[in-house]
């Protein structure tokens, strides 16, 4: 066995070689890590872009579906009004014609006709109510502000929950789709208050500001959790949010600060609501 130690310079050159090897390995590892990180970043960016574009597509689809639903409702309302409304009117006329032909001795028949006539009147009222629920024709007649005022009054009458409406836009003219969206959001919010809030008071405010219109619907009920606001099952809330976003607006729903209850806030840019004298706008734009 050779117990002689290798000369010093040989050891030194071996050490140098080993150091170079270690350095090369390190550089390779770092390069690999940097490369991988770059690939991951590119993939992440791509995924983000895909997500953004599908979100935009979904938003466009939701907006299309909302307006398609509004159009469908208008068609059904018209059919209801024309077909059923006219049919029931002629039924009513027929009944009163028969009633006039009856002799005083035909009391049982007279009684029957009276009850049929009352049923027909009720049906006519129901058809009218369903048609106006489907198509907010009152918006055309009264305009948004008066419609909301009467909605608040009716809500108070039906539910016993005190409901006030306040606005600084009494004379404003609203674009049709903005008016329909605001009206539908208020309807859905009031229905939720009646169904879920256990409130004794509700408050609606429509306020014109410098850059937009703010709608708030407040109640003093039990309040709402974040989980419900963003829940997959909360289709009513999702519908309200989509209506606001379709108008380029924002939507928030949550606790109403220090007091208990819920506050819904929708903000829509002024340009999408069209407010002001009719003369400053296109003559073809329907206003409400």
Ligand X SMILES: Nc1ncnc2c1ncn2[C@@H]1O[C@H](COP(=O)(O)OP(=O)(O)O)[C@@H](O)[C@H]1O
**CA gyration radius, the chain:** 34
Q: Which of 87, 236, 254, 269 binds Mg ion (CB under 5 A)?
A: 236
CB of 202 to ligand X, least distance (A): 9
Q: Which does 148 bind (CB under 5 to 8 A by kind): ligand X, Mg ion, none?
A: none
Q: Which of 120, 147, 177, 192 binds Mg ion (CB under 5 A)?
A: 192
Of 127 and 215, which has the nearer Cβ to ligand X?
215
For residue 237, state whether it binds ligand X (rule: CB under 6 A).
yes
CB of 187 to ligand X, least distance (A): 11
Q: Which of 43, 55, 158, 222 binds ligand X (CB under 6 A)?
A: 222
Stretch that binds Mg ion, among 5-13, 57-65, 163-171, 191-199 (CB under 5 A): 191-199
CB of 188 to ligand X, least distance (A): 6
For residue 234, state whether it binds ligand X (rule: CB under 6 A).
yes
CA 82, 88, 93, 97 torsion: positive or negative?
A: positive
Of 43 and 195, which has the nearer Cβ to ligand X?
195
Q: Using CB positions, name the residue nearest to Mg ion.
A: 236
For residue 1, state whether it binds ligand X (rule: CB under 6 A).
no
CB of 163 to Mg ion, least distance (A): 17
Residues that bind Mg ion (CB under 5 A): 192, 236
Residues that bind ligand X (CB under 6 A): 192-193, 195-197, 219, 221-222, 224, 228, 234-237, 262
């Amino acid at each position: 066995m050779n117990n002689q130690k290798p000369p010093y310079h040989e050891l030194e050159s071996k050490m140098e070689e080993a150091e170079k090897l270690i350095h090369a390995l390190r550089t390779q590892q770092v390069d690999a890590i940097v490369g991988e990180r770059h690939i991951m970043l590119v993939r992440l960016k791509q995924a983000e872009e895909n997500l953004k574009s599908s979100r935009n597509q979904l938003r466009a689809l939701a907006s299309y579906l909302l307006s398609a639903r509004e159009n469908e409702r208008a068609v059904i309302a018209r059919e209801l009004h024309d077909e059923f409304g006219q049919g029931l009117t002629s039924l009513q006329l027929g009944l009163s014609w028969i009633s006039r032909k009856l002799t005083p001795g035909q009391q049982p028949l007279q009684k029957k006709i009276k009850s049929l006539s009352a049923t027909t009147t009720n049906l006519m009222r129901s058809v009218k109510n369903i048609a106006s629920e489907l198509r907010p024709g009152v918006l055309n007649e009264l305009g948004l502000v008066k419609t909301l005022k009467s909605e608040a009054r009716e809500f108070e009458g039906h539910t016993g929950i005190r409901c006030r409406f306040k606005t600084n836009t009494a004379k404003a003219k609203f674009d049709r789709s903005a008016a329909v969206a605001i009206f539908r959001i208020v309807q859905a919010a009031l229905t939720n208050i009646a169904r879920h809030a256990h409130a004794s008071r509700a408050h609606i405010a429509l306020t014109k500001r410098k850059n937009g219109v703010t709608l708030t619907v407040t109640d003093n009920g039990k309040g709402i959790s974040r989980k419900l606001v963003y829940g997959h099952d909360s289709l009513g809330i999702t519908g309200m949010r989509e209506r606001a976003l379709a108008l380029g607006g924002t939507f928030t729903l949550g606790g109403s600060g220090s007091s208990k209850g819920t506050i819904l806030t929708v903000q829509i840019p002024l340009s999408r609501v069209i407010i002001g004298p009719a003369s400053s706008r296109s003559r073809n734009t329907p206003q409400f």
